[in-house]
Amino acid sequence: MTDLLKLDAVHTHIGHYHILHGVDFVVPEGEVTMLLGRNGAGKTTTLRTIMGLWRASAGRIAFAGQDITALPTPDIARLGIAYVPESMGIFTQLTVRENMLLATGASGFDSARLDRVLAYFPILRQKWNDAAGGLSGGQKQMLAVSRAMVEERRLLIVDEPTKGLAPAVIGHLIEAFQALKEARTTILLVEQNFHMARSLGDGVAVMDDGRIVHAGRMADLAADEELQARLLGLSLAAHQ
Amino acid sequence: MNLAKQDWAGLALLPALALIALPAMSLPTWIALTVAGAAMGMMLFLMATGLTLIFGLMDVLNFAHGAFISLGAFLAVSVMGALAGWAGAPGWLPGIAALAAAVLASAAICALLGAAFEFVIIRRVYGSHLQQILMTVGGLIVAQQLLVAVWGAQPLPLARPAVLRGSFVLGGAAIETYRMAAVVLGLAVFAGLHLLLNRTRLGLLVRAGVENREMVEALGYRIRRLFVLVFMAGTALAGVGGAMWAGYQEMVTVAIGTDMTILVFIVVIIGGLGSVGGCFTGALLVGLTTNYVGFLAPKLALGSTIALLVVVLLWRPRGLFPVART
């Protein structure tokens, strides 16, 4: 299994604040890698640094062997990385169709792929020409995930997709990610919901205070309650 | 303009304003003032829509926008002067061709200089409103002096094409032909912008970028290139507005653009920053209010637009059709 994404001693400063303190981890190709940790551990900063939305002040980020540390965000995205931010990044004044269209190439939708994506979230087809601002929180998250899936991507980076969503919606999302996993899509997923993390993750990296404090196989972490309690503590108890 | 249900209330201000004014004057006067207000509104829309797009997408407060309005006006003087034979000739074709040449030349040259202005000045101050204000006000002063150096400090007359002089009678009211031409051009530009923004991928990117620039970049689009295009379009439209306003005033001074800047900013704020549809509605509201109040109580004409701004902001603090930004 080759490493599609590799972070090597990555540091990030935001203003005067030193947020990431030498983050190292890898995302193997064809696997789902979960990035876990309590609030403020640096998970979102790590994802934004990978996307070039915040610049790494030291260290190296490589994607498919290419150094992307200093690349502009659009160039990183064009390498085949789809990013779903915690805020979902939905354009509320555009329709559902227009939101999806922005993620496609110049030739527009691949209808077979679009049908497959919308099969996961049929409600989006019903809302196809509605303004995205009128969607519920769960529907917006479905749109954000669908937008990331509507074109073939080499890596899908998703930041806390279940945050604030109803259990039924979370179930839908888990099914969609499960299907992506079965299709051997490479995914880096930040998640506080350990049930979801355990059901999807192949690999896991746990962050605390801007550092990776554990990296390994999800199955090992899921089987070791003492390790879970030590690494995830209150975060786990709150979300399990 | 993507109108949600509640937005019809904002749009309803236009007929409401016109109907409120009707009992205060005779019907022919009302028709003449309504057409004059619509014409002024269309020219304000041309001048203001670039500013609202530049602010909406690029988050840039361009106080030098008035310089491009002035430049468009002076370019119209030069082109119309060079084409005086066409402008003075009888018949529709030569006169319309002369005006079209003046408008297109103003648009093209303002677009090119807008690109240079973005490259030399604006690019250095993205993200800092204070620096933007200082740099663009400085740019405005320099541009005004350059206009004086090229065209002189004396007011220059601009003769309208013969075919657009005079007036015709509609419903017992005398309607200036030039004002109708301004209405037609304004509507055509609004329709063109509407199609561009709603029917093309470029327009889709602009609308998305107005709302969330970062996400547009994360989807793989180089938004800085879009910034240059929008800045050029914005300054081109300012040039078109300046050229048409010059023909309306029939006299051009170096301050013609800066004199309009206050009204242009009022239009943009009433419409909601970043909204082309809001800019269109705001421009018509300002044009109609100025003309109705100018007739009924001339001393209150300028104050009436400020009062309109206050009333709209009390009702909708972010303007009539604000663009949600994340």
- C-alpha to C-alpha distance for B245 and B45, rounded to whole angstroms: 11
For A77, A81, A88, A109, the CA distances from A151, given in Å and listed in that order, are 12, 10, 17, 8
Euclidean distance between the first and final Cα of chain A, in Å?
30
- Cβ of B298: how many Cβ atoms within 10 Å? 9
Residues 6+ apart with CB under 8 A from A111: none
- C-alpha to C-alpha distance for A10 and A47, rounded to whole angstroms: 12
Mean pLDDT, chain B, whole residue set: 92
Walk across the sheet containing A56-63 and list its strands.
A17-28, A3-14, A56-63, A66-67
Identify whether A47 is part of a domain.
no
Question: Would you say A196 and A218 are in contact if contact means Cβ atoms under 8 Å apart?
Answer: no
pLDDT band at B179 (very low <50, low <70, confident <90, very high): very high
pLDDT band at B4 (very low <50, low <70, confident <90, very high): very low
* Amino acid identity at B187: L
Domain count, chain B: 1
- C-alpha to C-alpha distance for B190 and B277, rounded to whole angstroms: 8
Identify the CA nearest to A196 among candidates A212, A178, A214. Answer: A178
Q: Read off the pLDDT of residues B286-303 as tens digits, 9 standing for 90 and up.
A: 999 999 999 999 999 879
Residue B127 Ramachandran class (φ > 0 left, ψ -120 to 50 alpha, else beta): left
**If you search the block for the tokens 């993507």, which residue do you land on?**
B2
Which range (A157-161, A202-206, B62-66, B206-210) has the least confidence?
B206-210
* Amino acid identity at A54: W
Domain count, chain A: 1
The pLDDT score that the predictor gives to residue B224 is: 87
From B211, B214, B216, residue closest to A93, measured CB to CB: B211
- Identify the CATH number of the domain in which residue B175 sits: 1.10.3470
- Identify the CATH number of the domain in which residue A153 sits: 3.40.50.300
Question: Would you say A217 and A203 are in contact if contact means Cβ atoms under 8 Å apart?
Answer: yes
* Amino acid identity at A238: A
**If you search the block for the tokens 């829309």, which residue do you land on?**
B45
pLDDT band at B109 (very low <50, low <70, confident <90, very high): very high
ipTM above 0.95, yes or no: no
| Domain around B22 | 5-315
Helix axes B276-296, B301-315, angle to 10 degrees: 140
From B204, B207, B218, residue closest to A77, measured CB to CB: B218
Cβ within 8 Å, pair B4-A87: no
pLDDT band at B23 (very low <50, low <70, confident <90, very high): very high
- C-alpha to C-alpha distance for B190 and B187, rounded to whole angstroms: 5
Identify whether B321 is part of a domain.
no
Contacts of B214 in chain A (CB under 8 A): 53, 73, 89
Identify whether B136 is part of a domain.
yes
Contacts of A77 in chain B (CB under 8 A): 217-220
Q: Read off the pLDDT of residues A199-213 as tens digits, 9 standing for 90 and up.
A: 899 999 999 999 999
Backbone angles phi, psi at B169, to 5 degrees: -100, 130
pLDDT at B210 over 90: no
Residue contacts between A and B (CB atoms, under 8 Å): 62
Identify whether A7 is part of a domain.
no
- C-alpha to C-alpha distance for B148 and B234, rounded to whole angstroms: 23
Cβ within 8 Å, pair B219-A91: no
Mean pLDDT for the stretch of residues B191-203: 93
Identify whether A107 is part of a domain.
yes
Identify whether B325 is part of a domain.
no
- Which two three-digit tokens encode residue A97? 């169709």
From A51, A53, A93, residue closest to B207, measured CB to CB: A93
| Domain around A104 | 31-42+72-239
B176, HSE (Cβ side, Cα atoms, 13 Å): 19
Distance of CA B246 to the CA centre of its chain: 13
- C-alpha to C-alpha distance for B179 and B161, rounded to whole angstroms: 13
Identify whether B326 is part of a domain.
no
Identify whether A57 is part of a domain.
no
Contacts of B220 in chain A (CB under 8 A): 74, 77-78
Mean pLDDT for the stretch of residues A31-52: 95
Looking only at the bridges linking them, the beta strands covering A17-28 and A3-14 are antiparallel
Identify whether A91 is part of a domain.
yes
Identify whether B324 is part of a domain.
no
Q: Read off the pLDDT of residues A96-111 as tens digits, 9 standing for 90 and up.
A: 999 999 999 888 999 9
Residues 6+ apart with CB under 8 A from A130: A95, A96
From B205, B222, B326, residue closest to A87, measured CB to CB: B326
Question: Would you say B196 and A86 are in contact if contact means Cβ atoms under 8 Å apart?
Answer: no
Q: How far is A160 from chain B (nearest CA, A)?
A: 16
